[in-house]
């Protein structure tokens, strides 16, 4: 018979066993909640920060956090400073779920090692990878539907110049309403706007932070204009980048990138002369800088600003 021995040292974490015995959440969610309960109260609970101190990726941690939020163990609320301005999100980590009944006591009637216990609540890394891959495929499929629904003359980003003579323009294209985006129809722009909103979790963001809805709408419009632009190059941070590169980067932004952009705007103390260019730069650079930004915050919290 196997014997399990527990070796304990200093730096104890005292927490309730409630969530450990809660049969409504997965082992991964229980482990993440235990980790968060062991961290200091002033810890910056971001996906990047939690990923920094674990082997899990952000997708896996995001799934566990969502599970804990649904179960009532994690709540998010907006903070304000002394001047009344909105600050960052504050995560409230609870030992007991809100508005939930205590889990049933005693062992389960079914053997925990029989059958396939992970069938209903898969939480392996491979499952998370498949979900992340599927999300990327879904975004690409939706974008392809937008592109293939357009006529040949109005294809937004052709790989080669169109050889169609002007006289051969389809009749439906002649009467199509054109927008300020250099030839793209309003319907096509609306389709990209909807795609961007879905990518960044627009509805959830507005429900959570309705006071930031106006600023978020400005970001969506800016992203949509850049994505739909007919210009060969777009200027970002004083440099010219191929429009297709900018478009690809912006269409990869998700809700965490948008929260990061809001954090950057809140932390910026210098005067911004060209807000449109500044926003486009922050949005474009978000995927490349978010990890290092939060990693620096994690190192500061863990080591007091000293190098690890």
Domains and CATH numbers, the chain: 14-99 (1.10.10), 131-152+177-308 (no CATH)
Q: What is the pLDDT of residue 265?
A: 83
Structure tokens at 203: 């509805």
* Interacting residues of 129 by C-beta distance below 8 A, sequence separation 6+: 59
Q: Is there a contact between 28 and 123 (Cβ–Cβ < 8 Å)?
A: yes
Q: What is the pLDDT of residue 154?
A: 37
Q: What is the pLDDT of residue 271?
A: 80
- Specify the pTM: 0.43
Q: What is the pLDDT of residue 299?
A: 54
In which element (H, E) is residue 124 found? Answer: none
Residues in the chain where the model's pLDDT stays below 70: 1-11, 41-45, 78-81, 84-91, 99-184, 290-308
Q: What is the pLDDT of residue 272?
A: 79
Which CA distances in Å does 237 have to 216, 217, 241?
A: 21, 22, 10
Q: What is the pLDDT of residue 220?
A: 92
Looking at the chain, how many residues does it have?
Answer: 308
For residues 99 and 71, give the distance between their C-alpha atoms in angstroms, rounded to a whole number.
Answer: 9
Q: What is the pLDDT of residue 143?
A: 54
For residues 301 and 289, give the distance between their C-alpha atoms in angstroms, rounded to a whole number.
Answer: 19
Cβ count within 10 A of residue 145: 11
| Eight-state DSSP code of residue 16 | -
């Amino acid at each position: 018979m196997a014997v399990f021995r527990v070796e304990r040292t200093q730096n104890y974490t005292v927490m309730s066993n409630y969530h450990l015995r809660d049969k409504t959440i997965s082992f991964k969610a229980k482990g993440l909640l235990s980790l968060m309960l062991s961290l200091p109260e002033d810890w910056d609970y971001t996906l990047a920060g939690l990923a920094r101190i674990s082997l899990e990726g952000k997708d896996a941690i995001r799934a566990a956090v969502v599970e804990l939020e649904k179960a009532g163990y994690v709540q998010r609320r907006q903070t304000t400073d002394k001047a009344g301005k909105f600050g960052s999100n504050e995560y409230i980590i609870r030992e007991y779920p809100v508005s939930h009944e205590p889990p049933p006591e005693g062992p389960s009637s079914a053997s925990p090692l029989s059958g396939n216990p992970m069938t209903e609540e898969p939480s392996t890394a491979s499952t998370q990878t498949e979900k992340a891959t599927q999300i990327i495929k879904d975004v690409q499929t939706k974008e392809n539907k937008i592109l293939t629904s357009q006529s040949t003359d109005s294809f937004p980003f052709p790989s080669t110049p169109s050889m169609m003579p002007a006289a051969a323009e389809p009749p439906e294209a002649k009467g199509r309403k054109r927008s300020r985006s250099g030839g793209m129809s309003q319907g096509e722009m609306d389709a990209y706007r909807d795609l961007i909103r879905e990518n960044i979790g627009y509805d959830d963001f507005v429900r959570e932070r309705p006071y930031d809805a106006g600023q978020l709408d400005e970001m969506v419009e800016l992203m949509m204009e850049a994505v739909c632009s007919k210009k060969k190059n777009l200027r970002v941070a004083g440099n010219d980048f191929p429009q297709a590169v900018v478009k690809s980067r912006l269409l990869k932004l998700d809700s965490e990138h948008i929260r990061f952009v809001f954090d950057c705007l809140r932390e910026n103390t210098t005067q911004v002369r060209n807000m449109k260019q500044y926003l486009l730069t922050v949005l474009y650079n978000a995927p490349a800088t978010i990890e290092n930004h939060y990693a620096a915050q994690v190192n500061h919290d863990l080591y007091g600003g000293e190098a690890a």
